[in-house]
Amino acid sequence: MSKHFPFMSELKALSAKEDFDPADKHKVDMMKALVHGADVGNPTRPFDISKVWTLKILNEFFSQGDKEKSLGIEVSNLCDRKTTNVAGCQVGFIGFVVYPYFEALCSIFPGMKYTLDEMNTNKELWKGSQDKWAKNLEADGNAEI
């Protein structure tokens, strides 16, 4: 993820080149772009599937945060089960990370535009549950997964 935003900038710049050829000259770059899209693309799936995988990865994050706390070190971003609003972090992840990346991909591969619609749906569903997740945090100090 540390290379996500620079890679997205490179992808946009590459696709704007006059000699851009995703099927030949820039094929390897496009394959890298698609692999990264698969890595961050969970929000492009139908909500019921995306939610399951979201909760699995956040459970891993929370386990990491628990370990960091036990070692007395600062808890990494999104890894504190006592402060992370699951729905809120997904709204941000979709809006600031995944959606812009897939917009860039869709400009090159128009057949992927359905992913943008799926993300819009998922973002709205997560937005609608932010209050529920916030109440869970207030009630017991834990993001219930």
Cβ proximity of 100 and 41 under 8 Å? no
Q: Does residue 69 fall inside a structural domain? A: yes
86 is in which domain, residue-wise?
Answer: 47-140
Residue 25 lies inside a defined structural domain of this protein:
no
| Residue 36, domain member (yes or no) | no
Q: What is the pLDDT of residues 115-142, one digit of tens each?
A: 999 999 999 999 999 988 888 887 776 6
Structure confidence by residue, pLDDT tens digits, 15-69: 999 999 999 999 999 999 999 999 999 999 999 999 999 999 999 999 999 999 9
The reply to whether the predicted model has a pTM over 0.85 is yes
Query: Is 8 within the bounds of a domain?
Result: no
pLDDT of 142: 66
| Residue 78 maps to a domain | yes
In a domain, 5, yes or no: no
What does the alpha-carbon distance between residue 143 and residue 145 come to, in Å, rounded to a whole number?
6
Do the Cβ atoms of 41 and 104 come closer than 8 Å? no
Instruction: Quickly list H helices, the chain.
Output: 4-16, 27-40, 47-70, 86-92, 99-108, 114-128, 130-140
Tell me how many domains the chain contains: 1
The alpha helices in 47-110, defined as continuous H runs, are 47-70, 86-92, 99-108
Higher-confidence residue of 143 and 20: namely 20
Asked whether residue 76 is domain-assigned, the answer is: yes
Query: 34: which residues sit within 8 A by CB, 6+ positions away?
Result: 105
Domain-located, residue 130: yes
